[in-house]
Chain A
């Protein structure tokens, strides 16, 4: 198999081996081209992107995802023309689960699938439908360099091979979880300190008294956790919201029940108190994202908390400023229970593996060429083009680190730049977080405060400092049709119900009674078995991270 791939690509590689430097790469990418051309010395079969056309199909495995036409915007058009890459979209049609199942059942898989890590990828791999990347890693420079050894180890499947190309992977903290505060209301109430959970409670009470038409606290889509998970972090030092997301709390070298976790119990009591006293939005569990946004854009809630409140925070900030320049949004350092160390409070998590992955299926005629393209896309050159558009408009040339040097148009033509960047949002398949964030921040920090983007300012000041690394807790979920998977499904329902009931409880004692009952019910359906499974997975993760 390996030999035949080598032989195949060998033909193309040799023919163009000398054309390496003749391509129209920006001059300042010397470091990468150097790295790339080092490999060919010993490996003559490296595929040089752009040396011949490649064409493959791409499927994004999400209901909401619809791939725009490749080449329909300036950035992808540039890549299409100069790198000779053409991509045919396969759309999910709003029903991803069914689409993928149909494609598997009929044996017509797309060349690349962009999907969540975990059970689905494992299933495809076990069925022998994926192409391992191991042979390509040393030939193409970017994957190894940017994803990093630790994350690569975490990506390995059971058979020790790598099948997944991660997206938004990172080696430094990122993420947006936290608290969003309405500036105007805050100033009118005398800008009180909101540091402890008691301060927070008192502040919300004040809001309720003075502004009867304002929702004191909107926890975003609390049905998915969101603001409730952010609050969880306030009640324990180094308690990561990932514990709630995994429904398992580490204690020693074991994962234990969430319902018995004192931090969870206390945070639920606090949340229930807010809800009971009408300090939290009564629609917390039923509201839609549009309702949350509406409140944010109209300034009808005093505090928001969620996994990514910066999205509506940035728009809301500019909306509110249109009406009143002193209004807008700011973020605050995550609140903590009195007596705890605020530098050990986390409002969100990030994982080194980032969000999701691309896999190449056996349907692909030339997997190595596709890999070469993905590798290009995640490298500085591809990232610059895809993220900020082709060179010459909003950036020209690069600095020593490969970061783009932004032109004046970058700050003066915000509208055009936003348009250009928005057009490629759905092409960010293997986003290089560290490269983008450092390039962006380096530039933002040279600007005066009023010219900085709202998001960048608060990410830099607060959110990136308050997200905890949760890489060791990834992939804990069992396969849905395994015994543990069936338990997990029942448990999930039990958990959601218990959390809703606890939130609606009439007293703090009732909250505990509900959680105790949930624990008993969970034991009856086999929660212990599920925890044991997750513990094993977690220990495996810890081991593979060490390499």
Chain B
């Protein structure tokens, strides 16, 4: 009996692989179209990857890659023992967790709310206005933020003062306690509209007859959102969640660099990417910066794999 089943499965497998090859051959013209994309990725993403090897060298820009001496894990050790290590790691994790916890659900909520708006013109208007900031560079956004939060003639201070909520203007951008709030808020303001597009698209794909059926059964609008909209867009949400977790160590760069200019904020604003920028580009310690970047990349891949593992349980994993 066991022998028979084994033979059958073997046969099945052979059939399966044969049919795969056959299927591939039948689609050869379609498969050819993938080649340019693969080539592009290979040339621009895989070939330059040898550059990470400089993390194990004392890279000298004059000698070049081939003649620079190999030093093993020296730069990694230096980073782990650097006085800034603890602070940089702590800030990176806190800021990105905050951004994930607040910045990730925010566009979903916006999409759900927009979906309930019945006036098309108003909906379009809100959509356009909310995703415009995405196209502004951080230089401009931080300029806005700085002038709004400024002590002298800053609109927020003027507003709070005229409402008699505060007496003396507050120097928002030089109080470490406020910094994370400012970073998360400006980030949400900038990206909320644009990120919500994906969710709106997913919502638009829901069959309206489901809502009709639900309302005949007497489900309220909140109930409909809860039992129809959210479960239907869940796969999209989970895929974006996996990607977001993979980026957990990218706490942001331009925003922190531009809004955290005041050195008094260094304690709360210094993250991996700003640190790499300062040591690598400004300080010209290429190997050291590469080592820190590589460290970040390895952790990110680990996180991505872990998030995917969790998602597989729900059946919505990336791979």
Residue numbers of A with Cβ under 8 A of B are 97-98, 101, 104-105, 123, 126-127, 129, 215, 223, 281-283, 285-286, 480-481, 485-486, 489-490, 493, 496-497, 499-501, 504, 521, 524-525
Q: How far is the CA of A459 from the CA of B5 in the complex (A)?
A: 100
What are 26 contact pairs spanning A and B, CB under 8 A? A97-B284, A98-B281, A101-B284, A104-B62, A123-B62, A127-B62, A282-B171, A282-B174, A283-B151, A285-B174, A285-B261, A286-B150, A480-B284, A481-B285, A486-B285, A489-B278, A490-B82, A490-B83, A490-B84, A493-B266, A493-B278, A497-B264, A497-B267, A499-B263, A500-B264, A504-B264
Contacts of A126 in B (CB 8 A): 62
Q: CB-CB < 8 A to B174: which residues of A?
A: 282, 285-286, 500, 504
Q: Mark B266-306, 1 if CB is under 8 A from A, else 0.
A: 11000000000011011111000000000000000000000
The answer to whether B262 touches A480, judged by C-beta atoms less than 8 angstroms apart, is: no
Residues of A within 8 Å of B279, CB to CB, are: 489
Given A97-B284, A286-B173, A490-B83, answer yes or no on A104-B61 (Cβ-Cβ < 8 Å).
yes
B146 — nearest CB in chain A belongs to which residue?
Answer: A286
For A282, A504, A521, the residue with the greatest tally of chain B CB atoms inside 10 Å of its CB is A282
B285 touches A480 (CB 8 A): yes
A497 and B270 alpha carbons, distance in the complex (Å): 12
Q: Whole-angstrom distance between the alpha carbons of A486 and B78 in the complex?
A: 11
The answer to whether residues A497 and B266 also contact, given A281-B152, A286-B146 and a CB cut-off of 8 A, is yes
How many A-B pairs fall under 8 Å by CB?
A: 74
What are the nearest 5 A-B pairs in CB distance?
Answer: A127-B62, A496-B263, A500-B264, A282-B151, A500-B263
**CB proximity of B140 to chain A, nearest CB, Å:** 13
**A283 touching B266, Cβ below 8 Å:** no
- B64–A105 touching, CB < 8 Å: yes
Asked if A497 and B61 sit within 8 Å, CB to CB, the answer is no
- In the complex formed, the residue of B with least CB distance to A502 is B264
Whole-angstrom distance between the alpha carbons of A394 and B61 in the complex? 48
CA A524 to CA B283, docked complex, whole Å? 21
Q: Chain A residue with minimal CB distance to B172?
A: A286
Task: Assess the B83–A496 pair: CB atoms within 8 A.
Answer: no
B255 to chain A, nearest CB (A): 15
CB distance from A361 to the nearest CB of B (A): 12
**Does B169 make an interface contact (CB < 8 A)?**
yes
- In whole angstroms, what is the CA distance A260 to B169 when docked? 34
Rounded to whole angstroms, the CA-CA distance of A283 and B61 in the bound complex is 40
Among A281, A286, A497, residue most surrounded by chain B Cβ atoms (within 10 Å):
A286
B77 to chain A, nearest CB (A): 13
Using CB atoms, name the residue of chain B closest to A128: B62
Contacts of B283 in A (CB 8 A): 480-481, 485, 489
Q: B64, A497: Cβ atoms under 8 Å?
A: no
What is the distance, in angstroms, from B264's C-beta to the closest C-beta of chain A?
A: 4
Most chain A CB inside 10 Å of its own CB: which residue of B262, B267, B285: B262
B170 CB, min distance to chain A CBs, angstroms: 9
Report the minimum CB–CB distance from A99 to chain B (whole Å).
Answer: 12
Q: Take A97-B284, A489-B279, A496-B263 as given contacts and tell me if A525 and B64 are in contact as well, using a CB distance cutoff of 8 Å.
A: no
Give Cα A325–Cα B84 distance, bound, in whole angstroms: 54
CB distance from A146 to the nearest CB of B (A): 33
Judge whether A215 and B284 touch: CB under 8 Å: no
Distance (whole angstroms) from the CB of A281 to the closest CB of chain B? 7
| Residues of chain B contacted by A485 (CB below 8 angstroms) | 283
